[in-house]
């Protein structure tokens, strides 16, 4: 009973984090599902977003402008990965790792040190974890919730335009896309940029929420993003067919991920084991489609009577 009340008490915080990481997970969805590329830049660009936003806010920049600057920084990070891949022929995973590594240095340079705090008592912020139970616009649940819905609406529109369709087509079939006059390299870069823009934007939210940016804040972000995508698809894939609803299911996946994390910690799991647990869960969920296929193939091979491949 006590655990339950603790959990309910922590729920607004978990949901807030889930919403913030939900934006980043939608970024991961764009590369992983739409472009069919596993982009590891996000671990770096997430922190870049946080660093850019915090430094600008400390310099008295308008809060929303700081968010937009973080988004642009993410676009640039994505462009680097995209160009490493398309212009220099480096496999996308490696290109992402290279950018991620270089962003570590860049993030240190942006902040001047390994972490930079913004005190909500001294500086005005868009959101903060202190306000998770307040009934006001600056409650992260409300602000991030509204932003998330607006973002999904904009993405829904964008991926329905000629440009957005070209990105989807690039991810779906390279040969066909080129045959239909689509510059696949350009669209890959564009997709990776957009993805990292969203990731950095999400990082800018998290830095304000927790009151600091840290060069390590994006560590393992890709795994959390993938977990959100996979959980969202596993739970809502059958009912959410529409593109906007699919993006929403990714955000739900992220929220559920954070509620589960909160639950296992409340139940006494060593928080140090959390990343191991996340990675294990993602690995298993990534394996399930493969196992399913193997299982059906095994049973297709041996129909009754032993007739092979009838």
Tokens encoding 51: 């660093």
d(CA 14, CA 10): 6
Closest to 57 in 3D by CA, of 217, 214, 205, 199: 205
Using alpha carbons only, how large is the chain's radius of gyration in Å? 21
Binding status of residue 180 toward another protein by CB under 8 A: yes
Task: List Cβ neighbours of 20 (8 Å cut-off, separation of 6 or more).
Answer: 140, 144, 202, 205, 206, 209
Binding status of residue 89 toward another protein by CB under 8 A: no
String of contacts with another protein for each residue 193-232, x by CB under 8 A: ----------------------------------------
Q: Least Å distance between CB 35 and another protein?
A: 12
Binding status of residue 239 toward another protein by CB under 8 A: no
d(CA 99, CA 80): 7
Binding status of residue 310 toward another protein by CB under 8 A: no
Answer for the pair 218, 43: CB distance below 8 angstroms, yes or no.
Answer: yes
d(CA 186, CA 291): 35
Piece of 92-100, 180-188, 274-282, 301-309 that binds another protein (CB under 8 A): 180-188
> Which position among 6, 178, 220, 265 is part of the footprint of another protein (CB under 8 A)?
178
| Pick 94 or 163: Cβ nearer another protein | 163
Binding status of residue 238 toward another protein by CB under 8 A: no
Binding status of residue 146 toward another protein by CB under 8 A: no
- The contact set with another protein (CB under 8 A) reads 158, 160-166, 168-169, 172-173, 175-184
């Amino acid at each position: 009973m006590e655990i339950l009340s603790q959990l309910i008490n922590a729920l607004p915080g978990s949901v807030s984090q889930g919403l913030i990481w939900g934006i980043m997970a939608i970024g991961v969805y764009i590369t992983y599902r739409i472009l069919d590329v596993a982009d590891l830049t996000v671990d770096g660009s997430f922190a870049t977003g946080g660093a850019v936003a915090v430094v600008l806010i400390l310099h008295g920049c308008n809060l929303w402008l700081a968010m937009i600057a973080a988004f642009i920084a993410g676009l640039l990070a994505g462009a680097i990965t995209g160009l490493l891949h398309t212009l220099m022929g480096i496999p996308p995973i490696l290109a992402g790792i290279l950018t991620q590594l270089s962003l570590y240095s860049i993030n240190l340079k942006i902040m001047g040190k390994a972490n930079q705090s913004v005190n909500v008592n001294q500086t005005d912020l868009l959101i903060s974890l202190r306000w998770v139970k307040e009934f006001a616009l600056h409650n992260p649940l409300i602000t991030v919730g509204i932003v998330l819905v607006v973002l999904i609406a904009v993405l829904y529109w964008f991926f329905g335009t000629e440009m957005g369709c070209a990105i989807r087509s690039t991810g779906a079939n390279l040969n066909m896309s080129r045959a239909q006059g689509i510059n696949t390299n350009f669209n890959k870069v564009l997709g990776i940029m957009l993805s990292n823009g969203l990731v950095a934007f999400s990082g800018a939210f998290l830095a304000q929420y927790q009151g600091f940016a840290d060069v390590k804040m994006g560590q393992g972000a890709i795994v959390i993003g993938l977990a959100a995508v996979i959980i969202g698809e596993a739970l809502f894939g059958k009912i959410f067919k529409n593109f906007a609803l699919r993006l929403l299911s990714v955000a739900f996946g992220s929220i559920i991920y954070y509620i589960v994390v909160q639950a296992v910690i409340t139940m006494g799991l060593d928080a140090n084991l959390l990343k191991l647990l996340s990675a294990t869960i993602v690995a298993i969920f990534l394996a399930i489609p493969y196992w399913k296929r193997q299982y059906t193939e095994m049973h297709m091979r041996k129909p009754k009577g032993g007739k092979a491949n009838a």
